[in-house]
Amino acid sequence: MNHLQFKDLGIQAYQKALAVQITHFEYLKDLKIQNRDADNPIVPPHFFFFVSHPHVYTMGKNADKKNVLFSSQQLTDKHIEYIHTNRGGDVTYHGPGQIVGYPIIDLDQFKADIHGYMRNLEEVIIRVIAEYGLKGERSQGETGVWLDVGTPHVRKICAMGVHTSRWVTMHGFALNVNTDLNYFTGIIPCGIQNKGITSLQKELQTPMDEQKVKKVIQKHFEEVFQCEFVPYKGLDA
């Protein structure tokens, strides 16, 4: 069974958390290259980070600037960062009350299938929100987890975007828990128009215990990916 070294980064600026991701991502890629010619190859570690970001709009590789509706002055006034990143997808929002999960794993040790990986990430969140009485669904051609697909009330509760190289992943998912959804009015989330955004708090009409939600995410991630979370040991362990 694969082990994932786990660490909760708490509240951390997007760029700082991105640097943490890149360090572990590059380490894992380099290790795979070294293992090719090694007599005694090292079993690649896997990592998983939870984090919550201050207000930030992030632009994926193929994002359209027109999907950011706030002006530069509005971004400044509202203390919202605006950052280009290397994940897939268009523009999205991260902020307090949102649980962001960054799995940095070697899919060669799981299944080398990006499509399957994304569906498994969706399955994790579908199982998580089911524990709170919500029926999460997939929307054809659109990543993430949605509610009431196929109705005029369709709304997204979890966004996803990843980057892979040599079958190593980075970035991940953002589940709206106690998120201030007003910040989504400054963008066209993921470039998808006429579909709403929601959160666990909004759907259940009560503030959520984010630490408990994280435990539920861990449980279902272990089930779906057939892995086990272990305490973070660091790159030199």
Q: What is the pLDDT of residue 237?
A: 57
Instruction: Report phi then psi at 122, rounded to 5.
Output: -60, -40
* Catalytic residue check, 227: no
Task: Give pLDDT tens digits for 11-31.
Answer: 999 999 999 999 999 999 999
- Where b means 16+ CB within 10 Å and e means fewer, 187-198 reads bbbbbbeebbbb
Residue listed under structure tokens 């999460």:
136
**Residue 48 pLDDT greater than 90, yes or no:** yes
Annotated active-site residue in 154, 162, 190, 197 = 190
Q: Which is nearest to 161 in space by CA: 62, 81, 54?
A: 62
pTM value is 0.95
Task: Give pLDDT tens digits for 92-121.
Answer: 999 999 999 999 999 999 999 999 999 999
Task: Give pLDDT tens digits for 171-228.
Answer: 999 999 999 999 999 988 877 777 899 999 999 999 999 999 999 999 999 999 999 9
Domains of the chain and CATH, by start: 2-231 (3.30.930.10)
